[in-house]
Amino acid sequence: MQSVVVEAEKYSLTTGKGSYTLLGWWRFCYLHSFETKQHTIYWNDKVFSGTSEGPEMVRGGGLLVIGQDQDRMGGGYTFSQSLNAVVADLRLYNRTLTNSEALDFVSCKETHLDPQPLVSFSDFKNNWKIEGSVNIEDLNLADICQKESSFLIMFPEAWSFSQAVAMCNNVGGSLPVPISARENEQILSFLNPYIPYCSDAHGYSIALGMLKEYETHSHYHYKSGENITYSNFLYRRNEDSNCVAIAVTEDDYGYWYYSKCDLELCTICNFTSVTHLKVSKQFYKLIYSTIKT
């Protein structure tokens, strides 16, 4: 459970509690009228509204910090009060948005509001100062509005397809199945540091979680059976095989080829939720405690 809290000078608002899921996006829009002291919060598909006690305006001249609680202006930072999350499409307007404008925003519709926001991420490099461990990347609206987010973990050890499936299943994940060129690029970007350790003589690096249907030559998800419409084959060699691998040689970088299912390749597991693993005391003493991070 998580409280929705909005704070300003001599002003604090707690609207209540709501459930949340890790690796999911929160689409959040706060509307406040200093004249009527009314507020409305759009939080994904929920709406909270009410009256507020506080100042008649927010005085300028302060310091806006995103992702970190400041106990005093520009200082008093502690690691335990840092935000471990992704923040995207931040906007601060000098007017109260209409309810329909706020609803469009949290519904992931394209919005072109006037005037332009006082604060946004539109010119990030020039308008913001980055401190601490912060990663910056471009996101499309489709990335923010997808039903679920995911992350990848590499196991740089050679396994057959069935072994890779079992490994990912045991740790709560599944083999990756890119369904767009962008997702294919994301897998390649993640794979790049491991290419020296994870490519065989043919340039194959990892197995994808799809199989070939021999009669129709279509492809389906190995777990759900869902048909895969996106394809990135350069040319179809090894037609007698029904597993699929990504190639990372210079000429074939990022393209797919059929591979034998008993071919041992590195394994990438895709996770759509946080998984918890139990580590034996013996493993911790012998291996984990010696790992330097």
pLDDT at 286: 66
Q: What is the pLDDT of residues 255-281, one digit of tens each?
A: 999 999 999 999 999 998 777 777 677
Distance, in Å, from the CA atom of 53 to the CA atom of 155, rounded to the nearest integer, reads 54
pLDDT at 177: 95
pLDDT at 187: 92
pLDDT at 166: 95
CATH superfamily ID and name for 151-271: Mannose-Binding Protein A, subunit A (3.10.100.10)
pLDDT at 161: 96
Instruction: Map tokens 């109260």 to a residue.
Output: 96
CATH code 3.10.100.10 region(s) in the chain: 151-271
Distance, in Å, from the CA atom of 18 to the CA atom of 2, rounded to the nearest integer, reads 6
pLDDT at 169: 93
Handedness of CA 43, 49, 53, 57 (dihedral sign): positive
Type of residue found at 62: G
pLDDT at 109: 83
Type of residue found at 281: K
Residues of the chain predicted below pLDDT 70: 1-22, 146-148, 236-238, 279, 283-293
Distance, in Å, from the CA atom of 180 to the CA atom of 232, rounded to the nearest integer, reads 9
Distance, in Å, from the CA atom of 87 to the CA atom of 66, rounded to the nearest integer, reads 9
pLDDT at 16: 53
- C-alpha angle 209/215/220, rounded to 5°? 20
pLDDT at 285: 66
